[in-house]
């Protein structure tokens, strides 16, 4: 299941109204649902409107999807920027309109002579900083319109390459000829579909991706993710607090006087929080509850997100 234990002694934050809950759910998305579908189900399960997600997954993909509740939706940018780990399968010899197995075939090659060593070497060429052209079937906006909306109308537009980073990549043979398991650790914004297609091109032919699964986003991995059926019955015990949500940020503890200033979103000097470096900092009170996230300003620290507003 999830490996989580009930939240004994842990606070579920309810600010902004008696029924609003603030926190994070780590969802294991099933295939066949959009990320928007997951948010809709979570709204019904939790019973509130203010819910959003970080890191869209394609309908055919499965795995970790982070869903923020209440004011915690304002913290989503701090988790969406985290590294992600994926696994999937590269199928050589067929290119599709969507770069995965849900699209229509656009070209076929005989790549039966490609070896496992060839694929591993081709994949290794993408290690490090690279530039990717986003697929037409994606949620990116060009001139105010999402690419997938244009693609449905048969329109293809110029897309500027985007910088991403591949931190680790491995392509391993499977029992199926011409199919290779692809394991990738990458930066936010990486399209694994594009990576699979580019590997096919590098091998002198083409390829598409299937069975994509996101295994983790930062510290939130599939071992602690729960399916919607589990959340339906026990979401409260699986809810992570806002402080846990940004637990990867450097922490600063505010005393009562500083906490009062934070509640009004006032700038602070570094001495008030006792911090060094570039930040950002997750600022908590003496009980460990998240008050705000502060970032470096020109001369002081500025409040980027305040959860403790009075």
Report whether pLDDT(150) > 90: no
Question: Cis peptide leading into 280, omega within 30 of 0?
Answer: yes
Task: Name the percent of the chain lying above pLDDT 70.
Answer: 85
**Catalytic site residue 58?**
yes
Write down the pLDDT at residue 163: 95
Tell the CATH topology of 250-306: 2.30.130
Per-residue pLDDT band for 151 (boundaries 50, 70, 90) equals very low
For residues 42 and 138, the model is more confident at 42
d(CA 113, CA 233): 51
Q: Does domain 84-217 have CATH number 1.20.1740.10?
A: no
pLDDT digits (tens, 9 = 90+) for 19-74: 689 999 999 999 999 999 999 999 999 999 999 999 889 889 999 999 999 999 99
pLDDT digits (tens, 9 = 90+) for 215-265: 999 999 999 999 999 999 999 999 999 999 999 999 999 999 999 999 999
Other C-beta atoms within 10 Å of 225: how many?
28
d(CA 153, CA 147): 10
Catalytic hit among 22, 58, 100, 198: 58
Per-residue pLDDT band for 8 (boundaries 50, 70, 90) equals very low
pLDDT digits (tens, 9 = 90+) for 274-283: 998 899 999 9
Q: For the chain, give every domain's residue range.
A: 23-82+219-245, 84-217, 250-306
Other C-beta atoms within 10 Å of 162: how many?
15
Task: Tell the CATH superfamily of the 23-82+219-245 domain.
Answer: Pseudouridine synthase (3.30.2350.10)
pLDDT digits (tens, 9 = 90+) for 70-126: 999 999 999 999 999 999 999 999 999 889 998 889 999 999 999 999 999 999 999
Residue with tokens 């998305």: 29
Write down the pLDDT at residue 255: 93
- Is the fold of 23-82+219-245 the same as that of 84-217? yes
Report whether pLDDT(310) > 50: no
d(CA 103, CA 271): 56
Report whether pLDDT(306) > 50: yes
Task: Name the percent of the chain lying above pLDDT 90.
Answer: 75
Report whether pLDDT(155) > 60: no
């Amino acid at each position: 299941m999830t490996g989580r234990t009930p939240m004994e002694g842990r606070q579920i934050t309810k600010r902004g109204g008696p029924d609003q809950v603030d926190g994070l759910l780590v969802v294991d998305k099933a295939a066949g649902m959009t990320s928007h579908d997951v948010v809709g189900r979570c709204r019904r399960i939790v019973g509130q409107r203010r819910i959003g997600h970080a890191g869209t997954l394609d309908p055919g993909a499965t795995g970790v999807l982070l869903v923020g509740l209440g004011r915690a939706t304002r913290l989503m940018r701090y988790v969406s920027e985290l590294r992600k780990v994926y696994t999937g399968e590269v199928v050589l010899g067929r290119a599709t309109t969507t770069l995965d197995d849900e699209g229509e075939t656009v070209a076929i090659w005989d790549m039966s002579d490609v070896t496992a060593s060839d694929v591993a070497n081709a994949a290794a060429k993408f290690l490090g900083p690279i530039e990717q052209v986003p697929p037409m079937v994606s949620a990116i906006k060009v001139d105010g319109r999402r690419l997938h909306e244009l693609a449905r109308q048969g329109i293809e537009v110029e897309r500027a390459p985007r910088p991403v980073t591949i931190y680790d990549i491995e392509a391993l043979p499977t029992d199926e000829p011409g199919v290779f398991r692809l394991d990738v650790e990458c930066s936010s914004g990486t399209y694994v579909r594009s990576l699979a297609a580019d590997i096919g091109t590098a091998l002198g032919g083409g390829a598409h991706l299937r069975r994509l699964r996101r295994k983790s986003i930062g510290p939130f991995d599939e071992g602690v993710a729960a399916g919607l059926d589990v959340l339906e019955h026990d979401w409260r015990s699986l809810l992570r607090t806002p402080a846990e949500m940004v637990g990867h940020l450097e922490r600063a503890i505010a005393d009562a006087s500083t906490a009062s200033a934070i509640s009004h979103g006032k700038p602070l000097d570094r001495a008030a929080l006792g911090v060094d470096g570039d930040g950002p900092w997750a600022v908590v009170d003496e009980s460990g509850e998240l008050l705000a996230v502060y970032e470096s300003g020109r001369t002081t620290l500025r409040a980027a997100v305040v959860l403790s507003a009075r």
